Structure 1
Amino acid sequence: MSRPRWAALAAAVAAAVLGLAVPAANAAPTPQWQRLTPPLSTPWTNQVSPTNALPEYPRPQLTRDRWQNLNGVWEFAKANPGEAPPVGRSLAERILVPYPVESALSGIMRHETQMWYRRSFQVPRDWQVGRGQRLLLHFQAVDYDATIIVNGRTVARHTGGYDAFTVDVTDALTTNRDQELVVGVTDPNDQGGQPLGKQRTPGDGIFYTPTSGIWQTVWMEPVAPAHIDRLDVTPDVASSSVTVNAIVGGPVRQRVEATAYDHGRVVGHVSGDANKPLKLTLRNPHLWSPDDPFLYDLKVRVTGGDEVGSYFGMRSISVGKTPDGKQRMLLNGKFVMQIGPLDQGFWPDGIYTAPTDAALKFDLEQEKALGFNMVRKHIKVEPDRWYYYADKLGLLVWQDMPAMKDDIEPTPASRANFESELHRMIDQHRSFPSIVTWVPFNEGWGDYDVGRIADQVKAWDPTRLVDAESGVNCCRSEPDSGRGDLYDDHTYTGPGTPMQTGSRAAVDGEYGGLGLKVAGHEFDPAGSFAYEMEPDSATLTRRYGELQQRLLLVAQRCGVSAGVYTQTTDVEKEVNGFFTYDRQVRKMDFAAVRAANLAVIKGATGQPAAGPQIPAGTPGIDGIAAYPFDENAGTVAQDVVGDHDATLVGGASWTAGKSGSALATNGSGQYADTGAALLNTEGSYSVAAWVKFNAVGDGFQTVVSQDGGSNSAFYLQYSGADHKLAFSFVGTRALAPVTPEPNRWYHLVGVRDAASGTLKLYVDGQQAATKSVCLGDASTGHTVIGRGQYGGNPVDYLNGAVDQVHVYDRALSDADVAALYGSGK
């Protein structure tokens, strides 16, 4: 018998004795992980391999020396409902953890609602697990419902796609060298009621490709029975101290010692009982800020032997009054204008998971280099290392809670789960100094009980600001609750012009969205879009500078404390980033962007700009132009007060009016043009008209407006989005509470009071709505009757009749409006 044949036989006999499977002579080769081709490749795509799948220590604020990363190639399979866990059974596919199953880097690149992961691991002998040490298995994030099985024993189940969880698996270990780990995951994605941010199946528009399964690092470490599970570190600049609360598990009461270091030099020490806040005092503390992101090192030791490393920054965040009388966001007691990008945290190769740690850091480094001092992390929670880099670089972070689905009413169970996940997000991130604001809701997406939730968040963390609803003026948002620390305006392209009033600071939580398509770097060339598309990089850069100049004026005159520009990178079909989605192309002149941003920060923190001098305007009830539309023939409507007769356009005609005849338009290309810009729209003005709608529905219908460079400076209108009468600026509407009826005459008056920064709408002589808007848009286009302008195009044509139009170069009072309505003019 030859030696090779004898060796094969011996191996088979040994396998039979040990109960091992004997491979068939012609067995299929073992499956291998393969990198698939993403829609776009980043500079880091090809750096990813089974040997370096995010190997970095994943928890910078609670470090220990001994640990083992379990990222890498795992077995994988689709799971069927009710299927038994694949304990002791190999799975057919290979996935690279921690890249989500839908990503190219995972090697699977498809969506699964239910799935199995499987691998083995070995516990190093020198960890002495079971002989005085416990073994903790950590999952930094799994989306969404995870069941953890070790050696056939179910040791944990966790729901929540954005928070880390830990399992003590010591009692499930066997004496075998190899321990089996099986993870079952269910993710209903947008068919469930859980928080999911912008994930949708399929991704579309402002929503993107979903993430399922393990998407952050899996790792393990040995610990003493009495060990630190969580470390809450809270700075108190007013008392030159930091509170350290070491959450310690164990059979008996433990004591802890905490020591602070400045580059290795001890600068503070405190000891006391575990699970209680301990006050560590610092002499002349070095404050953390975007200009000087200084961090202290921290070591915390439990008397039972556990010791962890950490760090902290000394800073305060608050809202307070500045010398101009406005309430603003204060950092370390001083107003610092916060400007930053909307940061979605999506990648074409890894979707939710950055391909490498260098890639994760890259976006933040670029945001800092662009002159930003803040970043809004948009309805996603990042790995801890992202916040660590924000701490190190000096970027203030507004942290959003991932939203529930936007078009369904959350059930009681969904609400309870949302609040549980929100609380966990806050608890797990409360020690990062960069985070200064919590944002529980965005634009009405899955919102409910907004005021109560804002109060609850403040109770959970009173040391940070709460933005109750970002974009409270927008979309599906509930009416402003008045709660939280911020009033947050979303206006595209904007920036919005909210007037700071009351005790809350005013912010522009989203604006911009300027777009540029870059051939060869688009996720979906046919579907690419932006809020305002530019033809080239030079135009894009110029327009960005104009928006930032406007933001500076808004900060100075209106008291706005912050601006969030959309956005860091293109994301799938959205092409409105500073970078293309693949991070390969800079779309603007970055030096010019940096200069524009620094000018806003520097200029806003100086003296407020002088407001415009508001002239008294022309007295009297007639105004500066009036159109009774009593001609009942021809194509010209006489201005009976001034000299700007209106020309009927597109076949506009005549009909019976509220008094005499009226202008008739059919909702398609018909209107009257006064031939001039009758109003200085940066000052105070009013417009009035009788109007009758032939029909009302989902479309907008404008009664009176004045053309601007791209959009009307104002709209006296019917808002189809709200089914209400309105007096509007782009992004802001003063809405009457009742839906109008067709074929009924209404008297509408829109009043712009530049001195008070308000829009007011009157219906039939009574004030129906008011809205705070600090600045008006400059306009040199014609005042028109029967249509509006948006995106450079005529829109929102009136389908009905309009009569007795008056134009005023002043803000009418309540008495003026009542008199005008009573006169029947």
Structure 2
Amino acid sequence: MKQLHTTLFLSLFFTVHCYYLLTAQEAKLPTRWTRSAMEASIPLSEYPRPQLQRAQWMCLNGKWDYVGGKGIASAFNPENPIYFEGKAEKIRVPYCPESVLSGIERNQEINMWYHRSFAIPEAWQNKQVILHFDAVDHDATIFVNGQKAGRHSGGYDAFSFNVTRFLKKGMNSLVVAAHDPNDGKAPSGKNGPRGDYTFSSGIWQTVWLEPVNTNYIENIRLLPDLENNRLKIFVNATSGTKLSAVAMDGKKVIAQVNSFSGADFFLPINHPKHWSPDTPFLYDLKITLFNANGRSTDEVISYFGMRDIKVGKVNGVNRTLLNGQFVMQLGLLDQGYWPDGILTAPTEEALKFDILFTKKAGFNLIRKHMKTEPRRFYYWADKLGLMVWQDMPAIWYQDEDTVKTRSEFRQELKAIVDDHYNSPSIITWVPFNENWGAFDVKSITDWIKQYDPSRLVNGNSGFNNNPSYQQAYGDPGNGDFVDTHIYVGPYGASVPDDRRAASLGEFGGVGLFTRGHMWPVANNAYDYEPTKAALTDRYVFLLDQVEQLMKYKGLSVAVYTQTTDVEHEINGFLTYDRAVEKMELSRIKVINDAVIKASHKINTQQ
């Protein structure tokens, strides 16, 4: 009888365990890319850093050992790694453990321990090996072969370590301890205690290795200067000072300069082809580093776009000027969430899809709301031609432990600007949204303007709105925009003042229920229409109003909410699974094109 009970217990345990494994892999709302992401041996295997490319690298995405949860050893800055000893689950990196694509799908793990082994290729012998993490939320501690290689704090910026001294021949062990309390005391955007959507944490962008020589290029900084027909370049190298920079238009060399690392220099670009959404031309750039003997020690491939963005007078009205001309910025609020990957697009094709859709619908702008994306997202925006407003993910409890929380916000803001400084598509930084976590808005806005003179700054987008749990900071009075959010709008939008352009940073938000394509929660929107045709009519009417504001009230920007449905919100152009277009796209493109075309005529009326 005892043996029978044991057999039944083991059978029941095996059945429940298998059921859990199966259901953990069943997406609540799959996308067309879910299966391929689950089946890929190395998901998201594309080269992760398009503006600083080298020929050799190794992607570490794929199945890792994983242990997580509140009851395990703390993953906050541990001195030693834990031992896995075959008891670990498997997690699919780089999908966060809260996502179905990870294979784990559990919320609020807080402590997350990852492990995998890797071997260094024979061709990398006598090279320095750099270990890269494109994003880990929030505190990460790295161990290589049991030794602590370094730690990093911040969920939205890339970081790396030179791990050469920890490596050995044959197989090497890599352990990552990630800790994320999700307590709102660090930048977290919608991924926080007062955020609207599923929390996410841990590794959520690509992990990779690359070999370099002892003297190598650590990073570059590119600043287009249209007024003087040149590109300003700064190269930061470990050592070695001589370098050459070559700009190319296709296979044709158009400029070449010999200079030095550690100091600004200029590459002349005569008769530059301007980057814009209509003509997103990119020049190729090759930078070579030399040692004292004149031998090449490193070579990186990059690209740049020649464009400028500023505020200037058109017919006496302050407007945003792209390459000296007013172009209405007509965009979508893009939150970048996925039902299968949460913060991480399931595949490269999926990452590119939202950008292609936005272009196809006739928009020229994306407002990337409350999160960052992998650098390949900005590469596609650069290459395909979409302007980008980049939000800083909000902090929620900025008034608690202010020395720590506010300094963390400033530190990560700078890191995000540094990460994406070279991308021509990013034209505006948005440090705060609707007073969420707002503090020192005026000084932070001024700081960004000084730190990155190549872009506009919208200090507090939607300053007219305010979360109920804190006092409104309001309009900082500086920066480049007077920006209000009006739902459904658009009337009531800002008008320009004597220094700033007017922006409607969010409007619209009209929903449509789409049975079979909604997240399994109570769904809502700011307003509703019953059919696809009616929703299209409503959008066309709203854009007719936007055009009136642009022509006669000085409006320069209008951002419609939003690209896709997101969890409970059903006000997207697309359903959350990207399977259904909820408006008649041909009509949407016609009205969008008409409004943007009308903005071109304003330039000729001076």
Provide the C-alpha distance between the structure 1 equivalents of 2:379 and 2:149, rounded to a whole number of angstroms.
Answer: 30
Pairwise CA distance, 1:332: 0.3
Q: Which has the higher contact order (CA 8 A, sep 6+)?
A: 2
SS in 1 for 2:383: helix
Give the counterpart letter for 2:358 in structure 1: E
Amino acid at match of 2:178: V
**Within-5 A mapping of 1:138-537:** 138-175=132-169, 177-189=170-182, 191-200=183-192, 207-250=196-239, 253-304=240-291, 305-323=297-315, 325-405=316-396, 411-476=402-467, 477-495=472-490, 496-524=492-520, 527-537=522-532
Question: Could you tell me which residue of structure 2 aligns to residue 588 of structure 1?
Answer: 583
- Whether 1:77 aligns to 2:64 is no
The alpha carbon displacement at 1:227 in A equals: 0.7
CA contact (8 A) 1:410 1:446 kept: no
Residues in 2 aligned to 1:607 and 1:260: alpha-carbon distance in whole angstroms? 35
1:121 to 108, 118, 122: 118
Question: What's the CA shift string for 1:340-381, capped at 9, x where partnerless?
Answer: 000000000000000000000000000000000111000100
AA partner of residue 159 (structure 1) = S
Tell me by how many angstroms 1:282 deviates.
1.2
C-alpha distance in 1 between matches for 2:304 and 2:457:
21
Whole-angstrom distance in 2 between the partners of 1:278 and 1:500: 37
SS in 1 for 2:262: coil
Relative to the length of structure 2, the TM-score reads 0.91
Partner SS state of residue 548, structure 1: helix
Change (3 A) 1:584 1:116: same
Q: Match of 2:519, as an amino acid?
A: F
Cα deviation 1:149-190 (Å, max 9, x = unaligned): 000000110010000001100001123x0000000010011x
Distance in 2 between residues matched to 1:592 and 1:606, nearest whole Å:
22
Which is worse superposed, 106-115 or 489-498? 489-498
Residue identity over aligned pairs, in percent, reads 47
Structure 1 residue 409 displacement after superposition? 5.2
Q: 1:259 to 1:99 in 2, by over 3 A?
A: same
1:93 aligns with 2:89: yes
Sort the Cα spacing of 1:319 and 1:195 in 2 relative to 1 into closer, same or farther, 3 A. same
Q: Report how far residue 88 of structure 1 moved.
A: 6.5
Question: What is the deviation of 1:608?
Answer: 9.4
Contact preservation (8 Å) 1:454, 1:483: yes
CA contact (8 A) 2:379 2:423 kept: yes
1:557 lines up with 2:549 in the alignment: no
TM-aligned CA distance change 1:507 to 1:410, over 3 Å: farther
Structure 1 SS opposite 2:432: coil
Distance 1:406 1:608 in 2: 44
Partner of 1:684: none
Are the equivalent residues in 2 in contact too, given 1:368–1:395 (CA < 8 A)? yes
Equivalent-residue separation in structure 1 for 2:41 and 2:285 (angstroms)? 32
Partner of 2:3: none
Aligned equivalents of 2:156 and 2:254: distance in 1? Answer: 35
8 Å contact kept, 2:275–2:306: yes
3-state SS, counterpart of residue 603 of structure 1: helix
Counterpart AA for 2:523 = S
For each residue in 1:659-686, what CA deviation from the matched residue of structure 2 results, as whole angstroms up to 9, or x when unmatched? xxxxxxxxxxxxxxxxxxxxxxxxxxxx
Is 2:52–2:219's contact at 8 Å kept on the other side of the alignment? yes
- Check the 8 A contact 2:398/2:406 in 1, yes or no: no
Residues 766-795 of structure 1 deviation map (CA, whole Å, 9 limit, x = unaligned): xxxxxxxxxxxxxxxxxxxxxxxxxxxxxx
CA shift, 1:91, in A, is: 4.2
Moved more, 346-355 or 455-464: 455-464
* CA–CA separation in structure 1 for the residues paired with 2:31 and 2:285: 36
Indicate the SS of the match to 2:460.
coil
Unaligned runs of 5+ in 2: 1-13, 292-296
Q: Which residue of 1 aligns with 2:32?
A: 43
- Correspondences of 1:401-800 after superposition (within 5 Å): 401-405=392-396, 411-476=402-467, 477-495=472-490, 496-524=492-520, 527-607=522-602
Letter of the aligned partner of 1:160 in structure 2?
G
**What is the match of residue 730 of structure 1?**
none
Q: CA RMSD in A?
A: 2.0
Q: TM-score, normalised by structure 1?
A: 0.67
Seen in structure 2, the aligned counterparts of structure 1 residues 425 and 271 have a Cα distance that, compared at 3 Å, is same
Instruction: Write 1 or 2 for the structure with the bigger share of helix.
Output: 2
For the 8 Å contact 1:91–1:118, the answer to whether it is kept is no
Aligned counterpart in structure 1 of residue 45 of structure 2, from 55, 60, 67? 55
Kept in 2, the 8 Å contact 1:569–1:577? The answer is: yes
The SS at the match of 1:539 is: helix
Residue 33 of structure 1, CA deviation? 8.5
Q: Is the 8 A contact 2:243 2:258 kept in 1?
A: yes
Amino acid in structure 2 at the alignment position of 1:257: S
Aligned letter for 1:280? L
**How far did 1:523 drift?**
0.3
